[in-house]
Structure 1
């Protein structure tokens, strides 16, 4: 009887637990030598880039911006910046819970 109750409890726990949503942020610093006009932060393997998180703003060379992520399924993201000339800088599979981003000219695609 006790084994049956424990087994039912284990099954109930299995189906009642959900993964905790990730809430956090990543700081992105521009050290490319150019102004960044677009910045995309998308869940890894999303297939499409999310909306530009800079909106109307520009991330000037040497500046840092904080991008907040709420209720995400995880903390691994792909991050792309696009400068004033249309050059792109992409970092793949970054765990933003552990690492902030510094884009440099060496990251150009």
Structure 2
């Protein structure tokens, strides 16, 4: 009986940890694929509808056309994001994406 009680306590502790998991801000990781024909020089993300854009994710790097890269948004706490891409020719594109449902975002 004591073994069964110990196992029950372990399972209850595991359930408590799993129940608390959604409350913790999770990192979001997604792949951005640049099929636009123009290099991306800046990439910004923010929780959908939030005020200000966060810092440039590319941080001075470039995502050339025909290439992809993996992006991690630390402690995101959301799935819906507004994305803003700035291209080498000066054009800009803003879009909204659910990065939990689709962890790959392609720019055509």
- Shorter-chain TM band: 0.7 to 0.9
Separation in structure 2 between the aligned mates of residue 54 and residue 81 of structure 1, nearest angstrom: 10
CA distance in 1, matches of 2:28, 2:76: 9
Instruction: Give the match for residue 68 of structure 2.
Output: 64
Alignment correspondent of 2:6: none
Q: How many residues align?
A: 87
Ranges in structure 2 where 5+ consecutive residues have no aligned partner: 1-19
> Aligned residue for 1:20?
24
Q: Once the two structures are superposed, what CA deviation does each residue of 1:23-59 show, in whole Å capped at 9, x if it has no partner? A: 2201111111001100111111112111110011100
* Counterpart Cα distance in 2 of 1:73 and 1:97: 11
Cα deviations by residue, 1:39-90 (Å, 9 ceiling, x for unpaired): 1111111121111100111000011111102222212111111101110122
**Larger proportion of strand:** 1
With the length of structure 2 as denominator, give the TM-score of the two structures.
0.73
Match 1:89 to one of 63, 70, 93:
93
C-alpha distance in 2 between matches for 1:49 and 1:60: 22
Give unmatched runs, 5+ long, in structure 1.
Answer: 1-16, 105-109
Contact 1:22 1:75 (8 Å CA) reproduced: no
Alignment partner of 1:98 is 2:101:
yes
